[in-house]
């Protein structure tokens, strides 16, 4: 999953031969999960058709303040377009367009929208090598960057003139990669390593049967995704679940038993900044696992159980710099039991769930939690979706690191 997923991208195309590459650029943005709208200068339509870009972006393409062929003459509102965008990229940015961007000339829809933009603006220059190195062009690069715009440098290669050198617009793949890396570098949890556990554990009785619980793993997966979206490098140790998560910052380690989860968590713990233990780990496991399927015979059947290793306690004992977050699912004396767990397991924060609350518990799309910190300050929350609860937990992590 790309950091561009869900972003609203406004692509401004000016009149250079490199405009033909914008078809691929739009496709890549869409593939990354972004929404795309396109503004063209009138000159750019000589190099690529609005129909092509409209088809790829699945949005109307605008190139003038109003559509002359429209008898109703609806105004294309440049302010609304500018405010819609999370990201505005001008590619190709010709010498002519950049000069007007510097001077504040708004003689077309693209430039008027640029002057109205409040989001981050990127520009990808494209021109012949002599134009690219001209003093006026170099000055415009500096001025545009001084305005807060981010330049995506041109590349070297064969140019439309037949010459070879600097001035070729960055390839669409490189433009997307540049923007992704720039966005990642600015995310609040960039550089933080977070371990998240999720799902149930299955403790084998024999090759066929196991002891487990009803945890779907959704809460842990939502936390992992919410942390990755904020730039954290996430290690997700997941018990058996049907859930999937594809994000370039999430590494999933799949386990089955409590023992396997214990080993996986302790193996990577020292490198972590934060641990969120959202898994519903079995407290007991069969003392002896039958090598063959147990046949049904007697009317009663007893299994001797022994405690599993306490993952959270083991991490609490080893804790140095880590911010340790645990979960508590209680049915009685909720607050008291949660506070006891904080002390016993050396936690910094606990997320308390009560099965007595409507809409909370296993297999639900919602959750109702109370945050309790190591000073025993309780913060009850309203019933929310698990995605919203995950965002609240990640916000607690951001507060911990003052970001």
By annotation, the residues acting in catalysis are 213
Alpha-carbon distance of 4 to 180, in angstroms, equals: 7
Question: Contacts for 21-26 with beta carbons within 8 Å, 24 or more apart?
Answer: 21/91, 21/92, 21/169, 21/171, 21/172, 22/48, 22/53, 22/91, 22/92, 22/172, 23/48, 23/52, 23/53, 23/56, 24/172, 25/91, 25/172, 25/175, 25/176, 26/53, 26/56, 26/57
What are the structure tokens assigned to 237, written together? 């140790």
H/E segment holding residue 353: strand 349-354
Element (H, E) at 245: none
In terms of Cα–Cα distance, which of 100, 114, 91 is closest to 22?
91
* Parallel, antiparallel or unpaired: strands 8-13 and 35-40: parallel
């Amino acid at each position: 999953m790309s950091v561009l997923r869900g972003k609203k991208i406004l692509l401004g195309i000016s009149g250079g031969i490199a405009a033909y590459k914008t078809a691929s650029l739009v496709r890549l943005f869409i593939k990354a999960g972004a929404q795309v709208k396109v503004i063209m200068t009138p000159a750019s339509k000589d190099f690529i058709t609005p129909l092509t870009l409209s088809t790829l972006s699945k949005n109307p393409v605008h190139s003038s303040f109003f559509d002359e062929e429209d008898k109703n003459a609806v105004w294309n509102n440049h302010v609304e377009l500018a405010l819609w965008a999370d990201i505005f990229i001008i590619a190709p940015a010709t010498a002519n367009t950049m000069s007007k961007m510097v001077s504040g000339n708004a003689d077309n829809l693209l430039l008027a929208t640029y002057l109205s933009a409040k989001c981050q603006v990127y520009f990808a220059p494209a021109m012949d090598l002599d134009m690219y190195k001209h003093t006026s062009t170099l000055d415009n690069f500096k001025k545009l960057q001084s305005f807060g715009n981010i330049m995506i440098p041109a590349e070297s290669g064969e140019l439309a003139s037949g010459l070879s050198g600097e001035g070729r617009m960055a390839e669409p793949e490189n433009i997307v990669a540049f923007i992704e890396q720039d966005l990642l570098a600015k995310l609040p949890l960039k550089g933080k390593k977070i371990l998240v556990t999720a799902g149930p554990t299955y403790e084998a009785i024999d090759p066929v049967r196991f002891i487990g619980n009803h945890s779907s793993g959704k809460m842990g997966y939502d936390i992992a995704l919410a942390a990755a979206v904020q730039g954290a490098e996430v290690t997700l140790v997941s018990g058996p679940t049907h859930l999937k998560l594809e994000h370039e910052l999430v590494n999933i380690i799949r386990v089955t038993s409590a023992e396997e989860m214990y080993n996986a968590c302790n193996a990577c713990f020292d490198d972590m900044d934060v641990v969120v233990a959202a898994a519903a780990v079995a407290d007991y496991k069969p003392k002896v696992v039958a090598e063959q399927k147990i046949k049904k015979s007697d009317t009663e059947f007893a299994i001797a159980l022994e405690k599993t290793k306490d993952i959270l306690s083991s991490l609490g004992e080893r804790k140095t710099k880590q911010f340790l977050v645990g979960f508590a699912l209680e049915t009685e004396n909720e607050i008291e039991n949660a506070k006891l767990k904080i002390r016993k397991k050396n936690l910094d924060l606990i997320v308390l769930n009560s099965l007595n609350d409507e809409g909370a518990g296993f297999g639900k799309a919602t959750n109702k939690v109370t945050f309790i910190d190591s000073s025993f300050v309780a913060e009850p929350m309203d019933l929310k979706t698990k995605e919203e609860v995950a965002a609240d937990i990640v916000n607690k992590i951001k507060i911990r690191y003052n970001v």
